[in-house]
Amino acid sequence: MDYRQTFRTLERALASIERSAETAAKLSGILEAIVEGPGPSLGILGARLYRRTPEGEAYVLEVACGARGEIEPGFRVAAEYPPMRRVVDEGLVIVGEGDADFDPAIERRIGVKRFASIAVGDGGEHIIALTLDPEVDQERAIYLLGTLRHIINLRLLHGQWAADLEEARRIQTSLLPARAPDFHGFDIAARSVPAEEVGGDLYDFVELSDRVLGVAIADSSGHGLPAALMARDVITGLRVVLDVQYRMTRAIERVNRVVSRSALASRFITLFYAEFERTGNMVYCNAGHPPPLLFQDGHVKKLEIGGLLLGPEPNASYERGFERFLPGSTLLFYTDGIVEAQNRAGKEFGEARLEKLLRQLKGAGAAEIVDAVFAEAGRFAHGPQRDDQTVVVVRRPDSRLTDLR
């Protein structure tokens, strides 16, 4: 399953749902956009919006879209019904026929054999229930639920944040490294250009010891202040965890749990993290990020080993990839704002053009490669960028390292 594409499909479907006077009106629009748009292709057959009564003893149906059985607005479900109680506690649940929490008498009236529920907003005031195609597998269903919960909370919070963007820009700029580290002759350069005053891209250099350098690049969905805050939290959280426990995958798994279990999390984030030893050994983990391009010995290799992007699945596990970063090698990190830059015809810059450019720049310095990538993507798009763009380049010089002590 293409998780990033699924997320983008849902986000595009909801892009037109903006600020409204009433939360229920906004949520109603979201449900209709899903069910009438990508819902069937994603295995969503119907959707219902419930609101908790003032006394808190029940949830009352406000809106139903798609498959709805015999129920109408005003239909009540007790707050103590186990799926309702669980979703308030856990944020999301999936229940089907045969499960202990599934009440056939209630669900027969609604017309469902399997459903998923998510709590949205502050304190579980609203619950969204989705009728699922019985054929949708559990992994996909969990991802859909997590994605919807994050996107919906984003829409609800969008109109509530009053931000001092200039201060946010200064904060974000302060989080970017002032300069590339001096690491045993490695040639390193980076640049990040937000689409707005602040952006959802960040990169970082983590000097773990004299022998090991960590390099991270992250991309929070969307751009602007909410994305910047999420990217900041992930990068700083990664630094903190790496200080406490050195193992790369355990650190990323812990950061993922924090992102996923945040009750008001409204973003997902991709992360690529690599550690370079001064001898040329490299270990990395790709958490759903566009795969960096390793160019060595005339070949380009995509670094894809890792796991899911951060956020959808709290218990996701991650793997490490291993490479020899040979003398003369170049590693190009980038965010999707580069490869998804579009020209007037709607065609994307794409990975193939980026690979071709990297081959053409054989022997060029890191700063020269960064400049060339931004220049080529800019010429191709020929207009204002729609997404944040970040490029990091790490090169190992052709000459052998002289200090191996």
In degrees and rounded to multiples of 5, residue 259 shows phi and psi of: -65, -45
Q: Is the pLDDT of residue 223 over 70?
A: no
pLDDT at 161: 44
Report pLDDT for 170.
63
* Whether pLDDT at 265 is above 60: no
Q: Report the mean per-residue pLDDT for the chain.
A: 83
| 303 within 8 A of 271, measured Cβ to Cβ | no
How far is residue 188's CA from residue 164's CA, in Å, rounded to a whole number? 33
Record the pTM.
Answer: 0.61
* pLDDT greater at residue 152 or residue 328: 328
Residue type, 302: K
The pLDDT, as a whole number, for residue 102 is 93
- Residues 97-141 have pLDDT tens digits of 889 999 999 998 998 999 988 887 666 788 989 898 888 888 877
- The pLDDT confidence band at residue 178, using thresholds 50, 70 and 90, is confident
- Name the residue with higher pLDDT: 122 or 165: 122
DSSP state at residue 193: E
Write out the two tokens for 66: 């798609």
Q: Is the pLDDT of residue 18 over 60?
A: no
The DSSP secondary-structure symbol of 211 reads S
Q: What is residue 139's predicted lDDT score, i.e. its pLDDT? A: 80
Between 40 and 131, whose confidence is greater?
131
Q: Please, which pLDDT band fits residue 167 given cuts at 50, 70 and 90?
A: low
Q: Are 207 and 283 in contact (CB under 8 A)?
A: no
Domains and CATH numbers, the chain: 3-158 (3.30.450.40), 167-395 (3.60.40.10)
**What is the Cα–Cα distance from 263 to 126, expressed in whole angstroms?**
14
Q: Which of 98-107, 338-347, 350-359, 377-386 is most confident? A: 350-359
pLDDT at 204: 92
Which of these ranges, 14-18, 215-219, 346-350, 382-386, has the smallest mean pLDDT?
Answer: 14-18
- The pLDDT value recorded for residue 8 is 65
Q: For residue 123, what are the CA distances in angstroms to 29, 54, 154, 212, 294?
A: 21, 13, 15, 44, 46
What are residue 264's phi and psi, to 5 degrees? -110, 20
The rounded distance, in Å, linking the Cα atoms of 388 and 364 is 25
pLDDT at 356: 96
Cα–Cα distances in angstroms (integers) from residue 318 to residues 167, 201, 307, 308, 321, in the given order: 35, 21, 5, 8, 10
pLDDT of residue 369: 98
Q: Where are the alpha helices (DSSP H) in 194-269?
A: 225-244, 248-261
pLDDT value, residue 32: 82
- Band of residue 401 on the pLDDT scale cut at 50, 70, 90: very low
Residues sharing a CB contact under 8 Å with residue 268, sequence separation 6 or more, in sequence order: 7, 147, 150, 220, 221, 259, 288, 309, 310, 311, 312
pLDDT score for 404? 43
Cα 111-112-117 angle, rounded to 5 deg: 125
Examine the pLDDT at 405 and tell me if it is beyond 70. no
Q: What is the pLDDT of residue 159?
A: 46
Comparing 325 with 89, which gets the higher pLDDT?
325
pLDDT at 201 over 90: no
Q: Give residue 306's region: left, alpha or beta (phi > 0; psi -120 to 50).
A: left
Identify the pLDDT of residue 321. 97
The stretch 237-253 carries a mean pLDDT of: 82
For the cut 50, the answer to whether the pLDDT of residue 379 exceeds it is: yes
**Rounded percentage of the chain residues whose pLDDT exceeds 70:** 81
**Residue 181: is its pLDDT beyond 70?**
yes
Give the pLDDT mean for 205-209: 91
Residue percentage of the chain with pLDDT more than 90: 42
Burial of 96-106, coded b for 16+ CB within 10 Å and e otherwise, reads: beeeeebbeee
Looking at the predicted structure, is the pLDDT value of residue 16 above 80? no
Task: Answer yes or no: are the C-beta atoms of 236 and 176 closer than 8 Å.
Answer: no
- The per-residue pLDDT for range 210-222, each reduced to its tens digit, is 999 999 999 987 6
Average pLDDT of the segment spanning 46-70: 88
Alpha-carbon span 357 to 342, nearest angstrom: 17
